[in-house]
Amino acid sequence: GAVVSQHPSRVICKSGTSVKIECRSLDFQATTMFWYRQFPKQSLMLMATSNEGSKATYEQGVEKDKFLINHASLTLSTLTVTSAHPEDSSFYICSARDPGQGDYEQYFGPGTRLTVT
Amino acid sequence: GQNIDQPTEMTATEGAIVQINCTYQTSGFNGLFWYQQHAGEAPTFLSYNVLDGLEEKGRFSSFLSRSKGYSYLLLKELQMKDSASYLCAVIDSNYQLIWGAGTKLIIKP
């Protein structure tokens, strides 16, 4: 099956710093990648959809200047949390769609737990 | 608006059968997914239904009725490792994935 990796798996940073999270599709080319955020005991919340070579589409209420998304290649998308604050502490999960599969299943990365102190 | 409803929490006994229901009202329909998510981990794919009927895959089965806007996930021979959240998600007419809030399943010995 399609495999998606994320790096780092855990990160702790100080308030005001920026953190970059990488999402890679390992054995397929992902024209579309998704970034989710999940707070404890809550469901997934879609933050943005990124298409290779174009600007990401952000969901309502998500600050695009704070959460920078770059999908520069068919196998890599990055999410940068700029000027992080404690309220940004969350579980960030990326997913990718494999157009070669001909369906709309999203393959999830293992997630990145961000803690801002 | 678009809406997906699932029970918040369910409890079942090891070895038993449990059915988790999902009802949806979305702008269009292009398929329904069930995902399993253990605490602190990312979701993993369980099933995909796009036509009416029952799809069986080992101990897990998923049912869809498009006319009723209804699906269920059936888990048989429950094991302790099945304790997790189960997420229902629908692909709408814009091919966006609409997520339910998830059902936390607690398995007791």
With an 8 Å Cβ cutoff, are A104 and B91 in contact?
yes
B34 CB neighbours in chain A (<8 A) are none
Q: List pLDDT tens digits, range A51-101.
A: 888 889 999 999 999 999 998 888 999 999 999 999 999 999 999 987 776
Cα–Cα distances in angstroms (integers) from residue A19 to residues A43, A82, A113, A114, B90, in the given order: 23, 7, 11, 9, 32
- Which of A43, A104, A113 faces B101 most closely, judged by CB atoms? A43
Of A34, A43, A108, the CB nearest to B100: A43
Q: In this predicted model, what pLDDT tens digit does every residue of A23-63 receive, in sequence order?
A: 999 988 888 899 999 988 788 899 999 988 888 999 999 99
pLDDT of residue A101: 67
pLDDT at A3 over 80: yes
The residue whose two tokens read 């189960």 is: B86
A75 touches B: beta carbon within 8 Å: no
The per-residue pLDDT for A102 is: 64
Give the DSSP per-residue string, A3-65. Answer: -EEEE-SEEEE-TT--EEEEEEESSS--SEEEEEEE-TTS--EEEEEEETTSPPEEPTT--TT
Q: Residue B95 pLDDT more than 70?
A: yes
Give the Cα separation of A83 and A80 in Å (integer). Answer: 10
pLDDT tens digits along B25-40: 999 999 999 999 998 8
How many angstroms separate the CA atoms of A21 and B90, rounded? 27
